[in-house]
Chain A
Amino acid sequence: MVQPPMRETVGSRNSAPRLPRLLERGGEAGAASMEPPTFVIEASRGLINFDLGAIWQRRELLYFLVWRDVKVRYKQTAIGAAWAVLSPLLTVLIFAAVFGRLAKIPSDGLPYIVFAFAGFLPWTYFAQAFSRASTSLVGNAHLITKVYFPRLMIPLSAVTTPGVDFALSLASLLGLMLWYRITPTWALLALPAFLVLAAVIALGVGLWLAPLNVRYRDVSHTVPFLVQVWMYSSPVVYPLTLVPEPWRPVYSLNPMVGVIEGFRWSLLGTTAPDRLAIALSAIVGLAVLVGGLVFFRRMERAFADVI
């Protein structure tokens, strides 16, 4: 039996040569200050500091956050992503029955179902994007309190995720158009621009509501109503022509008016949308986004403490 010698550690640890003290301030530490720090942590001041570079650096994370949301969404469902095609289709069918057949709402001379779908497509994207964005911070509280990454990525991923459903819906609308023998025009090329505009507005609204939701959970209860009210204030189930002419500029202050009219035009080749409506949509959308960015950055400091 070999036993380690008894007299050893207690003393030997203390007799080991002392290394220079690490925590001494000043002195040799001076050399390090030649190199700028990777970053400085202090109480933030100032309004405008978007740090978009950091977001670009972590763009893979954006991809993974979107990927997670898409994956989780259809886990443990039998027909999976088919829901993304089915649910808007079913909703539009209901619209067609109620608003098209019963209420006989005009549809710019197109089959009502195609007309409604072309409006519902950007609307669904927008509604999903902005309601997801509004609740995104609270939904990711477990990340916010435990790890750092640019917080802006959370609402950003929330407005990107519904893009997947959008693409599937768009395909089914194109199928429907084929069925009704409606051929898209060159205007279809403008579609991405209108989608981007919808995303800008959704992100802008989300950037205002998400930080508010961190402090007041009332926001998440308000969002479903907001979605409904907003939908009926936008030309989704009825054409813009139903709005009395003198009221249209005021009506078009709703930035989604320009987006939805733009979608109809670019998909179905209806009359080109009002320049004013599109200009207003872009101006209001950008204003909301810039304001939202400033507000978000301002509130961001306290997220982890309040959430």
Chain B
Amino acid sequence: MGDVAIRVENMSKAYKIARAKYRHDTLRDQLVDGVRSLLRPRSESRPSQEVFWALREVSFEVKRGEVVGIVGHNGAGKSTLLKILSRITEPTAGRAEIYGRVGSLLEVGTGFDHELTGLENIYLSGAILGMRKAEIDRKLDEIIAFSEVDKFIDTPVKRYSSGMYVRLAFAVAAHLEPEILVVDEVLAVGDAAFQRKCLGKMGDVAQQGRTVLFVSHNMAAITRLCRWGIWLDRGYLRDHGPTDEVVAKYFAAGVQALGELTFRDRLPEAPGSEYVRLLSFRVRSDHGEVTASLDARSPFSVEIEYEVLRPAAGLRVGLRITAHDGTVLFSSTDADEGEVARDPGTYVSCCTIPGPFLNYGQYFLTVGSDTPMIQSHFLVERGLAFSVEHTGGIGAHISDGRQGVLRPALPWAVRRLA
């Protein structure tokens, strides 16, 4: 028995995409263009297509029994890679060797038919995902128990709540026993308790020595489940190695050295509405320096500059800080202590975050503006990343390794009792 499960060599995938400029607006245009393209030689017959490389010469190997997490921004090629390895789509160039039966879980409820009952869907979905009937028969009780929907197993799934649907769907998928399991962001659905149960089940799968390829934006899940990581960036393989290192590099790359994101030089792209337009936002250290690396012991501030175009009652500007695993630490707005009226003009909203408060680590800053209950003006999710470090000072070289995303300075009192 060899020790390689997946070997990918120089894999590339191109998609042809239609350019919006050449969109056909009327049926007439379409017919005229259609006839023209029939008459023209092949090479110039498709002026409306552009090639987009979703994967570019990606090579890597996965050993048998390893659990590998794939990280990267949206559009980095993660899903394309999984689709190629699941044989749903073909690569444009390069090859992959797969040693073992592949089961893929790119969606919750693959093959489910809404008209059929829960029980019927277990068989249908199971068969589509690659299980044999005898295998489903054998695991049926286990699947139903895992899904927690046993009372409704003879009800058509169209009458299920979304939670029940997800539970049943995952229960089927969780009982697949391929040698190689390919999982896309399927855990983004379902309630927290069930997500934990699914993660636990996936952990079991890994324990049983099966190879797992796992895409998720949930870095906590990735770091917990996967020992190895692959980082894709705009189709390229940026890095691979132990998960901790890859995830750290992935975050480090997200940390713009500048600590600022500005739209002043490209106003047409600036997020906003007819009422307000975002100009820039930045992280500023205690010393007044714009930076993406902050000292854990000192306070820092977040500045959001924007232009009010029309008077908007109830307008507010706020921020959200997210830990690297996606946990939201807190949100805050400049209207928390009462509404601030704003005539048209340019403004800066500044929020000071105390120090010591955030623990060492990587964080994301999201900024936004809305008129509560009425309209969202802009929202730049995870627009900036910054790190909180221990820099300088006496004893700074000693990492005290305390746990948690926060390390606030809290008042303690020590009294001698006896």
Q: Please indicate whether A and B come from the same complex rather than being unrelated chains.
A: yes
List residues of chain A with CB under 8 Å of any chain B CB: 6-11, 13-14, 18-19, 21-25, 28-29, 31-35, 37-44, 58, 60-61, 63-64, 67-68, 71-72, 75-76, 142-149, 301-302, 304-305
With A39-B98, A146-B88, A147-B86 as contacts: A9 and B403 at CB distance below 8 Å: yes
Distance of B7 from chain A, by nearest CB (Å)? 7
State whether A9 touches B401 (Cβ < 8 A).
yes
- Asked if A38 and B99 sit within 8 Å, CB to CB, the answer is yes
A299 to chain B, nearest CB (A): 12
Q: Is A42 a contact of B59 with CB atoms below 8 Å?
A: no
Is B312 at the interface (CB under 8 A from chain A)? no
Please name all residues of chain B whose beta carbon is closer than 8 Å to the beta carbon of A31 when the two chains form the complex: 2-3
Does B66 have its Cβ within 8 Å of any Cβ on chain A?
Answer: yes
User: Nearest 8 A-B pairs (CB), nearest first?
Assistant: A32-B2, A32-B4, A37-B97, A42-B95, A64-B127, A10-B401, A148-B87, A41-B96
**In the complex, what residues of B have CB within 8 A of residue A44's CB?**
90
Q: Cβ of A42 and Cβ of B91 under 8 Å apart? A: yes
B91 touches A8 (CB 8 A): no
> Which residues of the partner chain B approach A32 to less than 8 Å between Cβ atoms?
2-4, 7, 99
Complex: A270 Cα to B242 Cα, angstroms: 77
Give A282 Cβ to nearest chain B Cβ, in Å. 33
Chain A residues near B241: list those with CB within 8 A.
21, 23
Q: Would A6 and B402 be within 8 Å (CB), given that A143-B128, A146-B107 are in contact?
A: yes
Query: Known: A147-B106, A304-B83. Is A35-B2 also a contact (CB below 8 A)?
Result: yes
- Report the bound CA distance from A5 to B194 in whole Å: 30
Which residues of chain A have C-beta atoms less than 8 A from B113's C-beta?
A: 68, 72
A60 B132 Cβ-Cβ under 8 A: yes
* Residues of A with C-beta under 8 A to B4: 29, 32-33
User: Within 8 Å of chain A (Cβ to Cβ): is B124?
Assistant: yes
Determine whether B133 belongs to the interface, using a CB cutoff of 8 Å to chain A. Answer: yes
| List of B residues within 8 angstroms of A67 by Cβ | 124
A38-B99, A41-B95 given; 20 more Cβ-contact pairs under 8 Å: A6-B400, A10-B401, A10-B402, A22-B68, A23-B228, A23-B241, A24-B61, A37-B98, A39-B98, A40-B96, A41-B96, A41-B98, A43-B93, A63-B127, A67-B124, A68-B113, A71-B115, A147-B128, A147-B129, A304-B83
Listed A/B pairs (7) with beta-carbon separation below 8 Å? A21-B241, A21-B242, A32-B99, A42-B91, A42-B96, A68-B116, A142-B110
Contacts of A68 in B (CB 8 A): 113, 116, 120, 124
Say yes or no: A60 contacts B98, CB within 8 Å. no
Convert B282-312 into 0s and 1s, putting 1 for each residue whose CB lies closer than 8 angstroms to a CB of A. 0000000000000000000000000000000
The reply to whether the CB of B15 lies closer than 8 angstroms to some CB of chain A is yes
Asked if A41 and B87 make an inter-chain contact with CB atoms under 8 angstroms apart, the answer reads yes
Are A10 and B111 within 8 A (Cβ)?
A: no
Find out whether the CB atom of B89 lies under 8 angstroms from the CB atom of A304: yes
Q: Which residues from chain A contact B68 at a C-beta distance below 8 Å?
A: 22
A67 to B63: give the CA distance in the assembly, Å. 39
Contact yes or no, B88 A22, CB < 8 A: no
- Contact partner of A22 (CB less than 8 A), chosen from B84, B127, B228, B360, is B228
Task: List CB contacts (< 8 Å) of B87-137 with chain A.
Answer: 87-102, 104, 106-107, 110-111, 113, 115-116, 120, 123-124, 127-130, 132-133
Cα distance A177–B402 in the bound complex, in angstroms: 88
| Residue in chain A with minimal CB distance to B246 | A23
Knowing A11-B401, A33-B2, A146-B110, say if A43 contacts B89 (CB, 8 Å).
no
Complex: A152 Cα to B378 Cα, angstroms: 47
A60 touches B399 (CB 8 A): no
Residues of B contacting A43 in the complex (Cβ-Cβ under 8 angstroms): 90-93
Chain B residues with Cβ below 8 Å from A148 are 86-88, 102, 104
In the complex formed, the residue of A with least CB distance to B114 is: A72
Q: CA separation between A32 and B2, bound complex, in Å?
A: 4
One of B85, B115, B128 near A64 (C-beta < 8 A): B128
Contact A41 B62 (CB under 8 A): no
Q: Mark B347-363, 1 if CB is under 8 A from A, else 0.
A: 00000000000001000
Residue of A nearest to B130 (CB): A149
Q: State in angstroms the CA–CA spacing of A146 and B4 once bound together.
A: 25
- Complex contact A34–B2 (CB within 8 A): yes
**Residues of chain A contacted by B86 (CB below 8 angstroms):** 147-148
At the interface, yes or no: B254 with Cβ under 8 Å from chain A? no
Per-position binary interface string of chain B over residues 134-171, scored 1 when its CB falls under 8 Å from any chain A CB and 0 otherwise: 00000000000000000000001000000000000000
State how many angstroms separate the Cβ of A255 from the closest Cβ of chain B: 30
Q: How far is the CA of A18 from the CA of B401 in the complex (A)?
A: 20
Question: Does the CB pair B90–A61 fall under 8 Å?
Answer: no
Chain A nearest CB from B263 CB (Å) reads 34
Contact at A38–B98, with CB atoms within 8 Å?
yes
Instruction: Report A68 CB to chain B, min CB distance, Å.
Output: 5
Cα A267 to Cα B413 with chains together (Å): 100
Q: Within 8 Å CB of B101, what residues of A?
A: 38
CA distance A147 to B124 in the complex (A): 13
With an 8 A cutoff between CB atoms, is B253 at the interface?
Answer: no
* Residues of B contacting A40 in the complex (Cβ-Cβ under 8 angstroms): 95-98
Out of A25, A37, A61, A149, name the residue touching B59 (CB < 8 Å). A25
Interface residue ranges of B48-101 to A (CB < 8 Å): 59-63, 66, 68, 83-101
